[in-house]
Chains A and B, each alone.
Chain A
Amino acid sequence: MLEVRGLRVSYGAAPALSDLDLDVGAGELVGVVGPNGAGKTTLINTLAGLIAPASGRIGLNGTDLARLPSHAFCAAGVAIVPESRRLFSAMTVRENLELGSYLPRAKAERARSLESVIALFPALASRLGTRAGSLSGGQQQMVAIGRALMARPSLLLLDEPSLGLAPAVVETMFAAVRRINAAGVAILLVEQNIGMAMELASRAYVLEEGRVVLQGQAAELMGRPEIRKAYLGLE
């Protein structure tokens, strides 16, 4: 479904991603891990249209998104939960969710999507009229995920959904990710919390300095002690 080939992104002269190939199959949950500065957020942002790649192909369901303007990505079926959430903080929770379903195809399903977001995150039910900026971190993360789901994506891009959250809230978040994936939405998950990411993902890519240094079945990568130690920083 997602087919990234030879993706290059640079900030000025500095390359951030070089010759990156990556695939996500329909309904698959794929993890991307790696140290800080490896290019994980750059990858997610490029796939969401926030950054224009220097070259390469971003094939999604047969169309190449790489040359399209950023507002065309969502229509093709991508939705992002960006790093540090980036909610529209002056707008209400309801308005944030509605904005996720801004495009006609998603708007037609708005009422139903809103119901399923509330079913996924019941805590949001009583907060719909609240300014998004005044919510707790965990609830803001729920709104960010909800906003992306309102777009009815076939591919959900999740950038560090556990960042800055209390362990109990992280559990809730990962349970939600699992349920979203079980409903048939393909997910590309970037995480610092490698243990959690590898547990959720069926396949994973290890990024270092803007390149894929390792890829494979998550369980297999986790099962090899030398890989755990060298690439994942686990004992």
Chain B
Amino acid sequence: MTFPSLGLLSQSVLSGLFLGGMYGLIGLGLGLSWGLLGQINLTHFGFVFLSAYLCYHLTMVWGVDPLLTLGLLVPAFFAVGVVMQWALARFRVSTFNSLLVTFGLTVMIEALIQKIWTADFRKLQTGYGEEKFSFLGLYAPLPELLTLTVSAAAAGGIWLLMRYTDLGKAMRAMAEDAPIAAAFGVNARALALLLSGSCVALAAIAGVFFALSFTLTPTQIFSWVGVVFAAVMMGGLGNPLGPLLAGLVIGVSEALAMAVFSPSWAPIVSFSLLIVLLLFRPAHR
């Protein structure tokens, strides 16, 4: 163990923040559907990757600007989320079973991606990837900067919605006592469809920014599950700011662990953090 220079440390913290932004963006929809709908939606990761591959395809084959693909992917994935919630409600899938069902769906999405785009590494080549800013000797690539900004804006925006609008209050009320919320006129079924659609749309957004920053390969889907789950659980289920804040903490600790010790330390650090937090945090709700 050699202690790194201040410059290297600051660069590590910065890239940790960027990585944390990605954790937060992926975790946002996952945590909302878990906390408010009682569904542990593993398909969320499949949707993120499917969206990333579709963004890659639209950009590389059809020449669409990657950010413009959001205009197509967000509404399409919203519709998928609505259909999925309709089916889960129709067959009364419990929280635990939702974990199994959505795991199965994720494996199917992985196979589909493998079939269409093969297991080869794919990297989106765009002008965005070349752009980078540097200040105070630190270096910030545009895609990562965009990811962090969008992640913060989405989490903040949804937090405001949940806190200050009647729709948000109705969703929180529904999460706590759906029958009583319904007795005051909340149409729980419609809200669940809206919420599920929004969560899958958030997966689509995460996918586009994922494609901008990361090299794609289908088997990677499952390597993101652990750390994003950790971020969601640390941040508190159903709290829109939680996954981002926890994601940033995890991202920075991982980056520091990599700089100070070695890259293989990163997962040990994030899961130790999760375990310590779960042990010592007062029970939520």
Q: Which residues of A contact B (CB under 8 A)?
A: 48-50, 69-75, 79-80, 82, 86, 88-91, 95, 98-100, 102-103, 107, 147, 151
**Cα distance, A70 to B189, chains bound together (Å):** 11
**Cα distance, A79 to B180, chains bound together (Å):** 10
Pick the residue among A79, A86, A98 that contacts B169 (CB under 8 A).
A98
Contact check, A74 vs B170: say whether CB atoms are below 8 A apart.
no
Tell me which residues across on chain A come within 8 A of B181, comparing CB atoms. 88, 99
- Closest A residue to B168 by beta carbon equals A95
User: Chain B's nearest CB lies how many Å from the CB of A224?
Assistant: 36
Tell me which residues across on chain A come within 8 A of B173, comparing CB atoms. 88, 91, 99
Tell me which residues across on chain A come within 8 A of B176, comparing CB atoms. 88-91
Contact check, B187 vs A71: say whether CB atoms are below 8 A apart.
yes
User: Chain A's nearest CB lies how many Å from the CB of B164?
Assistant: 10
Q: How many residues of B contact A (CB 8 A)?
A: 18
Tell me which residues across on chain B come within 8 A of A74, comparing CB atoms. 183-185
**Cα distance, A80 to B181, chains bound together (Å):** 11
Contact check, A99 vs B183: say whether CB atoms are below 8 A apart.
no
A-B contacts, 24 listed (Cβ < 8 Å): A49-B183, A71-B185, A79-B183, A82-B183, A88-B172, A88-B176, A88-B177, A88-B180, A90-B176, A91-B169, A91-B172, A91-B173, A95-B172, A99-B169, A99-B170, A99-B184, A100-B184, A102-B166, A102-B169, A102-B184, A102-B186, A103-B185, A147-B184, A151-B184
User: Chain B's nearest CB lies how many Å from the CB of A193?
Assistant: 23
User: Chain B's nearest CB lies how many Å from the CB of A92?
Assistant: 10
- Closest B residue to A50 by beta carbon equals B179
Contact check, A70 vs B169: say whether CB atoms are below 8 A apart.
no
Tell me which residues across on chain B come within 8 A of A95, comparing CB atoms. 169, 172
**Chain B 179-200 per-residue mask, 1 if CB under 8 angstroms from chain A, else 0:** 1111111111000000000000
**Cα distance, A72 to B184, chains bound together (Å):** 9
**Cα distance, A185 to B188, chains bound together (Å):** 27
